[in-house]
């Protein structure tokens, strides 16, 4: 029993790294554009299919393939923002942008169904099935590599946000868009690039999801987005540190419940969310919402 | 509102009702009347969704919870009490009651937060409901639950469902109309415009929002129960269907969010179109893409919906005529603002 618990915690933390990366993209988009990109789930699946195509048809290694899929997803993200999010104006922009993102998700899902069909596919590589013996546990190699990659990506995002000029303009836009515009920041450009970055991380998340989930199909997006939404709300919308903490907390809690009831493990995600929000409506690390004028 | 405006609207509503009531008498093709039943069920659900989300501005993407709860209520109750045939319709108020019983605690939790967070919580409720239906034994797990088979004549098989759905739709639309003009409806719309200011002016937001949420849930639950008996089966991924949420939202936005006739118009246009396309191309993925394209087109091209946009156009034309007959151009400007303010609300 004790051993199972340690293993569950290890699984939760390693798996949480990948969810953290995907959630950071989502919360970054929220912070800058004030929208929830509900298409993030299906974009992760799209990233997984891109990795699948590269590895099955072109025999490119999954990690090497990221050199292609990350820029591709960046371009897709900028295009989505340009076509569907940027034109929205007016009072109902909040709900409108959410629905526009939902429309994008439906279109991508339908397209993936038409191209790949409903059958589950898996990503294959030697390091997915092999594992290392570490501290008395057998840990799959892919989890270790994926966790390292996720940590590196999150660190790179942090450095970008806190050490570069562009990062400073992103943070300024997150704090106050009008003020950012007044001091000469090109808010539209910041929004487009941020959306692109937020979507580009789904290439990494998608590859890891495809390699560790034991099979995915176009319908997998719903499960992903619901978990990601739970994570970013629990962490507090717009809080990057909150997203990291919530991701690890949620995946660990799920892995622990999974020990005695795999059926109910997923429900823990949402139950934890509901429980936290009844006590703290702004989430664990969120700021209380400022009244919009 | 002028007297003639009211007469026009009342006459229009009666004409639409007469056409809908006569529809199964004129058309006996079962494929077409099946689409008719579907359309009316969705129309009732869309009008009900609009009573809460359209008037209060809180966009719910979790109404499928109530739809599915209604479906499972009818299924479980009919099985437990051995009901069949026409008596199953008696269970519909029970379906509404169960949905209301769910809506109170869910509303008390979700309505504490606003905007994005509210939307996301409703989505979370949706997934909890779907997973619960899959995991419990009383709901039949992933294989779901079967409805009792109706015992009436196959030639007019769809008719009882059709008229039950029509009755539900008429009652819901009447409720939507009564609520919109009432003190309760004004409080809801004040909350939509500025919740803090409404609270400052003496509206108690929580009870008002919760009441609208519950009313909306009751109708959605009854629609779900009816739909279940009509389809004959409920399984978790169709009783709790994310596309249901999307469909009612698209219908309401297409016709005009927060209007009385908007969601109705949206449902009467979109549901038959979608069903027809699905039958025509027999490829479910295409209909999904089309729903997405339609949603994007409505959001980007017609963000306020057909009814408010059309009302503005008509008001502008009337105002132009009025200003042409009036001598002074400046005096003729006045009605435009007034007409628009009125038109925007319809």
What are the tens digits of pLDDT across the range B144-153? Answer: 787 787 777 7
CB contact under 8 A, B289 and A229: no
Is B298 a member of any domain?
Answer: no
Q: Which residues contact B94 (CB under 8 A, 6 or more apart)?
A: B73, B74, B77, B225
Has residue B22 been placed in a domain? Answer: no
User: What is the structure's pLDDT at B332?
Assistant: 46
Which chain B residue lies closest to A268 (C-alpha atoms)? B128
Domain coverage including residue A88: 2-279
The span from the CA of B311 to the CA of A149, in Å, is 56
Q: Give me the residue from B113, B257, B295 closest to A103, CB to CB.
A: B295
User: Considering the entire predicted model, what is its pTM?
Assistant: 0.81
Asked whether the beta carbons of residue A84 and residue B132 sit closer than 8 angstroms, the reply is no
Mean pLDDT of chain B: 83
For residue A291, list chain B residues with Cβ-Cβ distance below 8 A: 196
Q: Which among A109, A114, A270 has CB closest to B124?
A: A270
What pLDDT does residue B283 have?
Answer: 64
In a domain, residue B231? The reply is yes
Backbone angles phi, psi at B232, to 5 degrees: 95, 0
Q: Which band of pLDDT confidence, cut at 50, 70 and 90, is reported for residue B312?
A: confident
Residue B16 included in any domain: no
Chain B residues inside the 8 Å CB shell of A90: 303
**CA–CA min distance A119, chain B (Å):** 14
Whether residues A267 and B128 touch (CB distance < 8 A) is answered with yes
Domain total in chain A: 1
B220 falls within a domain: yes
Residues from chain A contacting residue B139 (CB–CB below 8 Å): none
Residue A292 lies in a domain: no
Q: What is the pLDDT of residue A190?
A: 86
B292 touches chain A (CB under 8 A): yes
Question: Would you say A68 and A60 are in contact if contact means Cβ atoms under 8 Å apart?
Answer: yes
Is residue B243 within 8 A of residue B18, CB to CB? The reply is no
- What's the ipTM? 0.78
Residue A165 counted as domain residue: yes
On whether residue A13 sits in a domain, the answer given is: yes
- Asked whether residue A287 is domain-assigned, the answer is no
Q: Give CA–CA dist A108/A293, Å, rounded.
A: 35
Length of chain A equals 293
Cα–Cα dist A32/A287, whole Å: 15
Calpha distance A246→B171 (Å, rounded):
45
Nearest CA among B63, B66, B59, B64 for reference residue B117: B59
Does residue A285 belong to any structural domain of this protein? no
The CA-based angle B258-B111-B45, given to 5 degrees, is: 40
Per-residue pLDDT band at B328 (split at 50, 70, 90): low
- Interface subset of B 13-42, CB within 8 angstroms of A: none
Is A291 inside any structural domain? no
Q: Domain of residue B109: give its range.
A: 28-245
Contacts of B303 in chain A (CB under 8 A): 88, 90, 92, 96
- Write out pLDDT tens, residues B166-225: 999 999 999 999 998 899 999 999 998 888 898 888 889 899 999 999 999 999 999 999
Nearest CB to A96 within list B114, B288, B299: B299
Domain annotation covers residue B37? yes
With respect to residue B114, please indicate whether it lies within any of the assigned structural domains. Answer: yes
The rounded distance, in Å, linking the Cα atoms of A233 and A280 is 11
Q: Kindly give the pairing relationship between strand B145-146 and strand A137-140.
A: unpaired
Tally of domains in chain B: 1
Tens of pLDDT, residue by residue over B114-165, are 777 788 888 888 888 888 888 777 777 777 787 787 777 777 778 888 888 9
CATH number, position A19: 1.10.3470
Put residue B259 in one of left, alpha, beta given phi > 0 → left and psi -120 to 50 → alpha: beta
CB burial of B248-267 (b: ≥16 within 10 Å; e: otherwise) equals bbbbbbbbbbbbbbbbbbbb
State which residues of chain A have pLDDT below 50: 290-293
């Amino acid at each position: 029993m004790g051993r199972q618990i340690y293993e569950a915690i290890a699984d939760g933390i390693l798996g949480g790294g990948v969810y953290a990366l995907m959630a950071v993209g989502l919360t970054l988009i929220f912070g800058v554009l004030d929208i929830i990109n509900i298409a993030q789930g299906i974009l992760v699946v799209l990233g997984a299919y891109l990795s699948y195509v590269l590895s099955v048809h072109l025999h490119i290694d999954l990690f090497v393939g990221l050199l292609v899929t990350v820029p591709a997803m960046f371009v897709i993200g900028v295009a989505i923002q340009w076509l569907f999010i940027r034109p929205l104006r007016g009072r109902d922009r909040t709900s409108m942008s959410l629905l526009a993102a939902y429309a994008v998700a439906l279109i991508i899902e339908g397209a993936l169904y038409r191209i790949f069909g409903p059958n589950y596919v898996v990503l294959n590589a030697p390091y997915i099935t092999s594992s290392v013996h570490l501290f008395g546990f057998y840990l799959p190699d892919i989890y270790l590599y994926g966790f390292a990659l996720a940590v590196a990506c999150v660190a790179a995002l942090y450095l970008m946000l806190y050490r570069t000029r562009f990062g400073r303009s992103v943070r300024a836009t997150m704090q106050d868009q009008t003020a950012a515009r007044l001091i000469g920041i090109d808010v539209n450009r910041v929004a487009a690039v941020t959306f692109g970055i937020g979507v580009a991380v789904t290439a990494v998340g998608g590859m890891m999801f495809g390699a560790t989930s034991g099979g995915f199909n176009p319908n997998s997006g719903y499960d992903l987005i619901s978990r990601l939404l739970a994570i970013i709300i629990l962490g507090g919308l717009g809080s990057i540190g909150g997203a990291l903490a919530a991701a690890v907390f949620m995946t660990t809690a799920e892995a622990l419940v999974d020990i005695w009831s795999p059926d109910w493990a997923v429900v823990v995600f949402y139950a934890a969310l509901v429980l936290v929000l009844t006590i703290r409506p702004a989430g664990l690390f969120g700021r209380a919402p400022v009244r919009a004028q | 509102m002028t007297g003639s405006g009211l007469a026009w609207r009342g006459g229009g509503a009666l004409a639409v009702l007469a056409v809908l009531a006569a529809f199964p008498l004129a058309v006996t093709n079962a494929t077409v009347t099946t689409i008719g039943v579907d359309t009316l069920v969705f129309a009732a659900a869309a009008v009900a969704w609009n009573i809460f989300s359209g008037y209060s501005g809180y966009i719910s993407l979790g109404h499928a919870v109530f739809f599915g709860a209604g479906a499972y209520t009818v299924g479980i109750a009919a099985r437990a009490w051995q009901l069949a045939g026409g008596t199953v319709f008696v269970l519909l108020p029970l379906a509404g009651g169960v949905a209301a019983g769910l809506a109170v605690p869910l509303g008390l939790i979700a309505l504490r937060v606003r905007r994005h967070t509210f939307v996301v919580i409703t989505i979370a409720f949706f997934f909890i409901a779907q997973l619960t239906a899959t995991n419990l034994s009383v709901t039949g797990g992933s294989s779901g639950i079967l409805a009792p088979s109706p015992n009436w004549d196959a030639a007019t098989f769809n008719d009882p469902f059709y008229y039950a759905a029509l009755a539900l739709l008429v009652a819901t639309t009447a409720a939507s109309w009564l609520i919109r003009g009432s003190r309760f409806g004004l409080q809801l719309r004040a909350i939509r415009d500025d919740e803090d200011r409404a609270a400052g002016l003496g509206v108690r937001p929580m009870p008002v929002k919760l009441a609208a949420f519950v009313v909306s849930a009751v109708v959605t639950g009854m629609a779900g129960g009816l739909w279940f008996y009509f389809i004959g089966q409920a399984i978790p991924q169709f009783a709790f269907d994310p596309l249901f949420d999307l469909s009612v939202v698209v219908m309401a936005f297409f016709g005009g969010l927060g209007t009385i006739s908007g969601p109705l118009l949206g449902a009467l246009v979109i549901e038959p179109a979608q069903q027809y396309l699905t039958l025509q191309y027999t490829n479910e993925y295409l209909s999904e893409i089309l729903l997405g394209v339609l949603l994007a087109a409505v959001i980007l091209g017609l963000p306020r919906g057909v009814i408010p946009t059309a009302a503005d156009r008509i008001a502008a034309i009337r105002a132009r005529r009025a200003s042409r007959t009036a001598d002074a151009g400046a005096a003729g400007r006045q009605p435009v603002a007034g007409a628009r303010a009125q038109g925007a609300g319809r």
